[in-house]
Structure 1
Amino acid sequence: MSSRSSRKKDIPPVPDTTAIERAFIVSSSHLATPGNEDLSELEFALTVMNNAFQRWVQRCMAAVGLPELSVLDTLILHSINHRHRERSIPDLMFTLNLTERHPLNYSMKKLDELGLIERRKQGKEVFLHTTERGRQYCQDYARLRRVCLLELAPSDRKVGGVPISDVAKALRVLTGFYEQASRSAVSLQTDRSPTSG
């Protein structure tokens, strides 16, 4: 056998890059329904991004001096501080897309005990606003956000060639899809508990 033919056998085959280019990045292949793999890829991206976002919110608030606040606590504080106007509990639930009041009550109790918010009752309605201490923490958070996060944003305000505002609009539309799918799931729900016969 010639040395030339032995060298040819040692050369690895060229990978099929077209197959790689068509691959979808998903976390659960059983949910990547053929023809709808893009939605599974989006869901995986949302999961990873949501975890990164929550980690950022909590660490930013911890950095300004409130490590005891959860992500929901922090988002509620910012929402109450929005435009420096009083917010009602139904307004907060609607704005943050909360379906249960219990987590909101728990967060409000914590924010109240830390002296970050105050409540005002008018009839049966409760209105909330931030205290001077609460507003100061929100301002400190905003300053740190500018330094740590906003400086990373592209100057053309685009991600992958798409304006960030368009990404936000698309996510709001997708939120509606998932809301409708949730309602459909409830209507199709079956009892599969161990005690069901």
Structure 2
Amino acid sequence: MDTPSKILSSAHLASESTAELSELEYALIIAGNAFNRWMARCMSAAGVKDMTPVEVSLLHHVCHRERKKKLADICFVLNIEDTHIASYALKKLVKTGLVTSQKVGKEAFFSATEKGYELAQAYRKVREECLIPLLSDTGLSNQSLGETAKLLRTASGLYDTGSRAATSR
């Protein structure tokens, strides 16, 4: 019986012992790009065009639990290495009235405005109308989605550790 071929984007990186890793990396690339496209288009359908995936992620995180958040904490939780990217995106969100910034000492704290919360809820509505039915059509269970999320968080930790090792070489 023939073994199914692996789906690789970088066959030159795969060896017999790492074909599955290359397959995972390819899946991460295409899933990441698809998710970024989804976030931007879902936000557009929710009413705001031309938001970047970073801006969408930041808005959702700033809305999370309705707490004020520092830039460093936002970057840490979302695993954003370049704080300038997050800072620039937050300034754009402040300028559009979706997020507010409050200075406490030397630190700026960000929180969503009522307009920001309303937009996040509109995004949720589009998500539930467009994405949730697709999930049930695939037969994916909430449990399998949770297990996949755990695997991705674990992989993220491996790549973070690998990044530190590569940096110290």
TM-score over 0.5 for the pair: yes
Distance in 1, Cα, partners of 2:146 & 2:140: 8
Alignment partners' CA distance in 2, 1:163 and 1:104: 31
Q: Provide the C-alpha distance between the structure 1 equivalents of 2:136 and 2:118, rounded to a whole number of angstroms.
A: 28
- Per the normalisation by structure 1, the TM-score is 0.81
The DSSP-based 3-state class of the residue aligned with 2:162 is: helix
Query: 2:20 aligned to 38, 57, 75, which one?
Result: 38
Query: Quick check: 1:69 aligned with 2:51?
Result: yes
Bigger relative CO (Cα 8 Å, ≥ 6 apart): 2
Q: Tell me, yes or no, if structure 1 residue 29 matches structure 2 residue 11.
A: yes
TM-superposition CA deviations, 1:7-35 (whole Å, max 9, x none): xxxxxxxxxxx33x331110111011211
- CA drift of 1:184 comes to 1.1
Residue matched to 2:123: 141
CA distance in 2, matches of 1:31, 1:93: 30
Corresponding position of 2:148:
167
Q: Quote the Cα distance in structure 2 between the aligned partners of 1:118 and 1:148.
A: 30
The structure with the largest alpha-carbon Rg is 1
Where 1:26 maps in the other structure, the secondary structure is coil
Q: Residue 146 of structure 2 aligns to which amino acid in structure 1? A: S
Rounded Cα–Cα distance in structure 2 between residues aligned with 1:89 and 1:105: 7
Matched-pair contact (CA < 8 Å) for 2:72–2:83: no
Task: Provide TM-score, normalisation by structure 2.
Answer: 0.94
**Alpha-carbon distance in 2 for matches of 1:133, 1:94:** 25
Q: Could you report, residue by residue, the CA deviation over 1:73-106 in whole angstroms, capped at 9, with x for unpaired residues?
A: 0100010000111111111011110111110111
Shift, 1:157, TM fit: 4.3
Letter in 2 for 1:43: E
Q: Which runs of 5 or more structure 2 residues have no equivalent in the other structure?
A: none
CA root-mean-square deviation: 1.6
Letter in 2 for 1:165: G
SS of the residue 2:126 aligns to: helix
Which residue identity does 1:25 align to in structure 2?
Answer: I
Distance 1:76 1:49 in 2: 19
What's the counterpart of residue 158 of structure 1? Answer: 141
SS in 2 for 1:153: helix
Give the distance between the partners of 1:62 and 1:172, measured in 2 at CA. Answer: 28
The CA distance in 2 between the partners of 1:38 and 1:80, in whole Å, is 36
1:92-131, CA deviations, whole angstroms, 9 ceiling, x for partnerless residues? 0111101111101110111011011111111112111111
Alpha carbons 2:40, 2:52 under 8 Å: kept: yes
- The residue matched to 1:129 in structure 2 has which SS? strand
Q: Which residue does 1:184 correspond to in 2?
A: 165
Amino acid in structure 2 at the alignment position of 1:146: E
Aligned length: 168
- Please identify runs of 4+ aligned residues in structure 1 that moved more than 2 A: 154-159
Distance 1:90 1:106 in 2: 13
Amino acid aligned to 2:26: F
Q: Distance in 1 between matches of 2:67 and 2:101?
A: 12
Give the structure with the higher percent helix.
2
Equivalent residue, structure 1, for 2:75: 93
